[in-house]
């Protein structure tokens, strides 16, 4: 018999704050009081560590989305430093929200780990950075969440086995994900959740789903397939400048997603008796007793 875990919703703010910490706090506040999600998540990059000099000084590939004259300048504009992340975590705690961050490199992993968040996320692009993963496994005691976008099944198997070898697999949350912004429905490939469950559910802490699609129907399906942790990009305005806004949910969409997941969780059960109390009233009134 399948027992469904309570859904856990993460609002991926990422860089949708446009480099403004007050917008970041507004996103956190609305996620808490209006959207009713469980956690918010940001991103942390050390751009000099991540990018080659040529990448850093090249123009942004889409100048309409750029916040700087070069890609490096664009990325630096959107980056919060460790002190600002500490401020955001403190703000989250003051209103009862869970704070987390995706880390893209070992320096960022060390910085964010120093804040002792409940969990740290590894994006699909970095799930083969075994130097960073090794450091986290050996030094960070919290949950480690990892997306499997643009990752082969063999690479995912190696990743899980690495966590087993480190004795950290029970702190691992493995996400089904397709890397794209936005992802058309035919590329979401929800049934891969079944594969992750069959192969790894007994080894890892949770199976999750990180969606970059449009709308909220797919997330409910992901939950019913067994992904109890649902992560969606979130913004105040999908028309804002930036790569991720178009594939994000606005507050009303995120609120409805949280509402629907709670409703489905309540509904996923078997009848306790053949005739429920709510039905008995109708049976007494409507059921044909003749014959």
Task: Report pLDDT digits (tens) over 146-157.
Answer: 999 999 999 999
Instruction: Pinpoint the alpha helices (H) of 38-129.
Output: 47-50, 53-57, 71-77, 82-94, 106-113
Average confidence (pLDDT) over 123-129: 96
Rounded to 5 degrees, what are φ and ψ at 62?
-130, 95
Min mean pLDDT across 31-35, 42-46, 129-133, 285-289 is at: 285-289
What b-and-e string marks burial along 147-160, b requiring 16 or more CB atoms within 10 Å of the CB? bbbebeeeebeebb
Task: Pull the structure tokens for residue 166.
Answer: 């480190």
Average pLDDT on 108-121 reads 98
What confidence tier does 217 reach under pLDDT thresholds 50, 70, 90?
very high
Residue 279 has pLDDT above 90, yes or no: yes
pLDDT band at 75 (very low <50, low <70, confident <90, very high): confident
Q: What pairing do the DSSP bridges indicate for beta strands 172-177 and 206-211?
A: parallel
Pairing of strands 143-147, 98-103: unpaired
Beta-bridged to residue 210, according to DSSP, are 177, 231
Domain map of the chain by residue range? 8-286
**Please, what is the Cα angle at 16 between 14 and 247, to 5 degrees?**
85
Tell me which architecture the domain covering 8-286 has in CATH: Alpha-Beta Barrel (3.20)
Residue 291 pLDDT > 70: no
Residue 120 — very low, low, confident or very high, per pLDDT cuts 50/70/90?
A: very high
What's the confidence (pLDDT) of residue 62?
A: 77
Q: What does pTM read for this prediction?
A: 0.94
Question: To 10 degrees, what angle do helices 217-225 and 251-267 make?
Answer: 30
**For the residues 76-93, what does the mean pLDDT come to?**
95
CA–CA distance, 117 with 114 (Å, rounded to integer): 8
Residue 120 φ/ψ, nearest 5 degrees: -125, 140
pLDDT band at 93 (very low <50, low <70, confident <90, very high): very high
């Amino acid at each position: 018999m399948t027992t469904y875990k309570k859904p856990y919703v993460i609002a991926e703010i990422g860089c949708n704050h446009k480099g403004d910490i007050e917008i970041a706090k507004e996103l956190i506040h609305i996620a808490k009081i209006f959207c009713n999600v469980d956690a918010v998540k940001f991103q942390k990059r050390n751009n000099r560590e991540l990018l080659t000099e040529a990448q850093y000084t090249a123009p942004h590939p889409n100048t309409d989305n750029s916040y700087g004259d070069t890609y490096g300048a664009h990325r630096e504009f959107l980056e919060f430093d460790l002190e600002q992340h500490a401020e955001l975590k403190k703000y989250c705690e003051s209103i009862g929200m869970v704070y987390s961050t995706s880390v893209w490199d070992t320096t960022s992993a060390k910085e964010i780990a120093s804040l002792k968040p409940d969990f740290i996320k590894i994006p699909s692009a970095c799930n083969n950075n075994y130097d960073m993963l090794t450091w986290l496994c050996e030094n960070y005691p919290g949950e480690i969440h990892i997306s499997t976008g643009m990752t082969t099944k063999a690479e995912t198997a190696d990743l899980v086995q690495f966590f087993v070898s480190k004795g950290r697999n029970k702190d691992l949350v493995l996400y089904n994900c397709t890397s794209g912004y936005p992802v058309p429905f035919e590329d979401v490939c929800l049934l891969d959740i079944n594969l992750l469950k069959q192969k790894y559910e007994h080894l890892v802490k949770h199976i999750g789903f990180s969606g970059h699609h449009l709308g909220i129907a797919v997330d409910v399906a992901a939950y019913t397939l067994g992904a109890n942790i649902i992560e969606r990009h979130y913004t105040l305005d999908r028309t804002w400048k930036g790569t991720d806004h178009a594939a994000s949910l606005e507050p009303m969409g995120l609120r409805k997603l949280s509402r629907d997941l709670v409703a489905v969780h309540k509904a996923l059960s078997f009848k306790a008796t053949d005739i429920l109390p709510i039905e008995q009233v109708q049976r007494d009134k409507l059921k044909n007793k003749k014959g």
